[in-house]
Amino acid sequence: MIVATLARGHALLEGVPGTAKTMLVKSLALCLGRDYARIQLTPDLMPSDIVGTYVFDMQTSTFNLRRGPIFTEFLLADEINRAPAKTQSALLEAMQERQVTIEGNTHRLSEGFTLFATQNPIEYEGTYPLPEAQLDRFQLKIIVEYPSGPEEVDILRRHHQGFDDSDLAATGIAAVVAAEQLDACRQEIGAVEVTDAMLDYIARVSRATREHPSVYLGSSPRAAAQLLRSAKVVAAMRGRAFMTPDDVKDIAAPALRHRLMLRPEAEIDGLRSDDVIGEILATIPVPR
Looking at residue 23, its pLDDT comes to 86
pLDDT band at 128 (very low <50, low <70, confident <90, very high): confident
181 vs 252, more confident: 252
The SS3 assignment for 260 reads: coil
For 211-225, the pLDDT digits (tens) are 999 999 999 999 999
pLDDT at 166 exceeding the cut of 80? no
Looking at residue 3, its pLDDT comes to 93
pLDDT at 20 exceeding the cut of 70? yes
**Residue 108 placed within a domain:** yes
Structural domain containing residue 128: 2-176
120 vs 44, more confident: 44
pLDDT band at 232 (very low <50, low <70, confident <90, very high): very high
Of 165, 142, 107, 113, the closest CA to residue 254 belongs to 142
Ranking 52-56, 187-191, 281-285 by mean pLDDT, the lowest is: 52-56
pLDDT at 157 exceeding the cut of 80? yes
Q: What is the mean pLDDT of residues 222-238?
A: 96
Q: What is the CATH number of the domain that holds 134?
A: 3.40.50.300
Residues 230 and 93 occupy one common structural domain: no
pLDDT band at 125 (very low <50, low <70, confident <90, very high): low
**Residue 185 placed within a domain:** no
6, 82, 119, 127, 228 from 144: Cα distances, Å: 20, 18, 10, 18, 23
Last residue of a domain, one of 117, 145, 176: 176
Pair 280, 209: CB distance under 8 Å: yes
Looking at residue 256, its pLDDT comes to 96
Q: What is the CATH number of the domain that holds 215?
A: 1.10.8.80
Residues 88 and 206 occupy one common structural domain: no
Rounded to whole angstroms, the Cα distance separating 222 from 226 reads 6
Residues 142 and 274 occupy one common structural domain: no
For 60-108, the pLDDT digits (tens) are 888 888 999 999 999 999 988 888 877 877 888 899 889 998 888 899 9
**Residue 211 placed within a domain:** yes
Residues 98 and 141 occupy one common structural domain: yes
Average pLDDT in the chain: 89
Of 21, 36, 10, the closest CA to residue 169 belongs to 36
Last residue of a domain, one of 176, 207, 234: 176
Q: Which pTM was predicted?
A: 0.89
Last residue of a domain, one of 176, 208, 242: 176
**Residue 231 placed within a domain:** yes
The domain total for the chain is 2
